[in-house]
Structure 1
Amino acid sequence: MNIKQLMPISFAAIALSLGACATTGGGSDASHLAAYTPYLQPAVKSIRYTQARNWEKITDQHVLLETRPNEQYLLKLDGPCLQFSNGSPSLIVDAHMTGMLSAGTDRIGTMDSRITCLIREIRPLDYAAMQAGKGS
């Protein structure tokens, strides 16, 4: 499949592909999402974004995106679109503004699927509080 088939044509659009360890961990999707919920901050419209360090599929409609060490965001998607085969999947990020990732306009998907999903919400994760909570 050609990457150009996955992206709408736009001068401002960019696509970044990265290999990552995308797992859903143990337990159900709901319990996996619930583990992050207490550490989520209010939604933001956009974040500075050039490349992801890592990403994790939390549910069919939620992705945890790490942009820098100790800087993570929970992305809520408009539908299930993270289809991938065995191996290390590549995440495709289609952002309309270079250096930014915005809810309501930007999309993500994987190389293994023709489907991309609109990012509906971006919520910063309080990583320090989460790590402190794990230690207690």
Structure 2
Amino acid sequence: MKSLVAVLCGVLLLAGGARADTPETQSENLERFTPYLQRPVEQFKFWSMYKWQLVGPDKVVVWTTIDDAYLLTVETPCTQLQWSRDIGVTSQASHTVMRRMDAVVAGNDRCRILEIRPVDYRLMQSESRGKPVR
């Protein structure tokens, strides 16, 4: 009986951390980024992905460093993006991600990048002290 309780506790702990953001949460997160979006750019330098966050069915924010973030809008449908634990970003040119040339890879989906918008993440962080970014 004790081992059953231990297993159930372990499952609950794992399930608590394995949640997908709801469309409402994604929309709220996108709204938090929106005031800090800069004009669209054609490309950005990309050596590695520091982290990423889904903010819509066709929108993902990727960080290339702790302070450098970009909102990528991808071609739809990109069905596996909603459920992916990991994503990748292609780079056809040497360490440069380009709009319409590169893609976000989620599972078996290769979702072409339609728009790239830098995020003024440092300003966002400084204005939201005390409000953690999810």
TM superposition score normalised by structure 2: 0.72
* C-alpha distance 22-36 of structure 1, shift in aligned 2 (>3 A): farther
Could you say what the CA RMSD is over the residues aligned between the two structures, in angstroms? 2.4
Structure 2 gap segments, 5+ residues each: 1-17
The unaligned stretches of length 5 or more in structure 1 are 1-20
Distance 2:98 2:19 in 1: 22
Aligned structure 1 segments of 4 or more residues deviating by more than 4 angstroms: none
The yes-or-no answer on 1:90 pairing with 2:86 is yes
Q: Percent identity?
A: 27
AA aligned opposite 2:86: S
User: Is the Cα–Cα contact under 8 Å of residues 26 and 54 in structure 2 kept in the other structure?
Assistant: no
| Equivalent position to 2:38, from 16, 20, 41 | 41
Matched residues in 2 for 1:43 and 1:122: separation?
5
Q: TM-score by structure 1 length?
A: 0.71
Tell me the alpha carbon deviations over residues 75-124 of structure 1, each in whole angstroms, 9 at most, x when there is no partner: 01112420436xxx22122221121001111011223xx22111011111
1:59/1:74 CA distance change after superposition, 3 Å: same
Please state which structure has a larger fraction of its residues in strand. 1
Mapped partners of 1:25, 1:122: distance in 2: 23
Distance 1:80 1:35, change over 3 A: farther
**Structure ranking higher on relative contact order (CA contacts 8 Å, 6+ apart):** 1
More helix, by proportion: 2
Q: How many equivalent residue pairs?
A: 111
